Amino acid sequence: MSAAVIGAALAVVAAMALLAEGWTVLRCVASAGPGGAERLSRLGAGFLATEVWVVALLGLGHAAVPGWVEAPALLAPLCGYVAGWVLRDLGLWSAPRLVRQWPARVAVVVGAVIQLVSVVGGVMGVGAIAVSGGTDARFAPDPLLAPTAVFAVLATLVLQVVWWAMLHGRGAPWFRWG
């Protein structure tokens, strides 16, 4: 029972990481084009709301399917993704505090492109593992994890829907570009 619950929670977290953070990454890549500063201003603090799903995916995956998180085929994409993530967030945090914003804009775009390439590499890595018969990963659900995962994932989904409905698009004064 707890295995099914944790599996479902993991699927929801993975979907949110892919869709929500994917939206942020694509928006950052698109900021290389015209109107990029305005696009990033509209993103505001929204990237903080989407990237928490990636952290949750790594945390939950580490406990539930440790073999996948530690698989050698996924090591390079994972390290690349984290490096791109750090670079992108460095740009997003620092730009509104800089007089010249172009270095931060470059960091945002380059970081997001590295993230995008790493995701493609990760998908290929997952495919390679699946073709070769999967990992020796056991699914290690613990009775404590199931209720915690359900509560945390559902509560965060509700809060983020509230945020999206009431506050999205208003930007944030400490993440202003241009």
Which range, of 18-26, 55-63, 72-80, 108-116, touches another protein by CB under 8 A? 55-63
Smallest distance, Å, CB 131 to another protein?
25
Distance CA 130, CA 60 (A): 20
- Residue 169 makes contact with another protein by CB under 8 A: yes
Smallest distance, Å, CB 77 to another protein?
17
- Residue 80 makes contact with another protein by CB under 8 A: no
- Residue 33 makes contact with another protein by CB under 8 A: no
Q: According to CB under 8 A, which residues from 127 to 166 bind another protein?
A: 138, 140, 142-145, 148-149, 152-153, 155-156, 159-160, 162-163, 166
Whole-Å CA distances, 116 to 24, 58, 109, 130: 11, 17, 10, 21
Among 14, 45, 73, 83, the residue binding another protein under the rule CB under 8 A is 45
Distance CA 136, CA 68 (A): 9
Kindly list the residues in this chain that would bind another protein in the complex (CB under 8 A). Answer: 45, 48-49, 52-53, 55-56, 58-60, 62-64, 66, 96-97, 138, 140, 142-145, 148-149, 152-153, 155-156, 159-160, 162-163, 166-167, 169-174, 176
